[in-house]
Amino acid sequence: MTGEFATAGMLYAKSQNSGCAGQWKCHWCGAPCLDLYVHDDAPEIPGAKRNPNRARHPANPYVCQGCWLWRRQRISIHYHNEDRHVLDRQTPKWHSWFITPRLARAVHPADHALLFSLIQTPPTCFALLFLSKPRTNENATNPIIVNHLHLAAVNEHERIEAGTALTYTLDNVPHAYTVYEFEEALKHGPEGKEPGVRVLFELLGLKATEEKRGRGRPPALLEAEQALGKVVREEAASQIELKNKSKATSRTGK
């Protein structure tokens, strides 16, 4: 871990050519911030159920540059697939996102090939935030569940190996996978794999590339055992036949 981006808010700010700095800690994600922007979160009520948005530092009044940018209203949303139309009058909270230090782009749920590529060959620093039902056009209703940037984790590694644990969120719930397990699931199916791998398969509508083997012994081994059993049965029948002939010859000789 390189540790440059401690929170997803810091990563998103970087993707927008900005940064997080100051003597305060962000109300939402805990990143350094100035006293420029005050949060709009509902106040905590002693003795009542905690706010479901789960601010990291609920007592702090200010938010960082990244979280402020994330909560903007009526901006243009660009998709990672550049062939898709830009959506106007949007807020980032309504969409699924793939974020790197260089850029942040929304991800359309129909772009399975693009998502597959991002998951199988991810960059060394990224955050992936899925919504099961994001807003996909300007006329659609707002999603019931919105994406909370401060609940996402940043994957930040010097290099990503087959067994490196990588995190993402779906509807603000954290999941993890490894490239190795993902590729194994592509070959043999997701059953028995980590929950994060199975969630990705369901989300992307993926299927194993090889036909899943049923229960029991492999066909090749089963055929070999059946062939061996046939030989044993034939040999046993031959021995019985020889014994019977021998007995018949003995009785005739007498």
Beta bridge partners of 130: 170
Whole-number Å distance between alpha carbons of 102 and 206 = 29
Is the distance from CB of 95 to CB of 40 less than 8 angstroms? no
Residues in CB range of 220: below 8 A, 6 or more apart: none
Residue 145, pLDDT score: 93
SS3 156: strand
Whole-number Å distance between alpha carbons of 181 and 244 = 61
End-to-end, the C-alpha distance of the chain in Å comes to 94
**What's the full length of the chain, in residues?**
254
Strands 75-77 and 97-99: what pairing?
unpaired
Phi, psi (5° rounding) for residue 100? Answer: -130, 170
In three state form, how does the secondary structure of 193-219 look? Answer: CCHHHHHHHHHHCCCCCCCCCCCCCCH
Residue 12, pLDDT score: 97
Is the distance from CB of 9 to CB of 46 less than 8 angstroms? no
Residues in CB range of 45: below 8 A, 6 or more apart: none
pTM, entire model = 0.76
State the CB neighbour count (10 A cutoff) for residue 239.
10
Residue 148, pLDDT score: 95
Residue 243, pLDDT score: 62
Q: What is the pLDDT along the chain (254 residues), one digit of tens a residue?
A: 457 899 999 999 999 999 999 999 999 999 999 988 788 776 666 666 555 568 888 888 999 999 999 999 999 999 999 999 999 999 999 999 999 999 999 999 899 888 888 899 999 999 999 999 999 988 888 999 999 999 999 999 999 999 999 999 999 999 999 999 999 999 989 988 999 999 999 988 887 765 444 554 444 444 444 444 444 455 556 656 666 666 666 666 54
Is the distance from CB of 182 to CB of 204 less than 8 angstroms? no
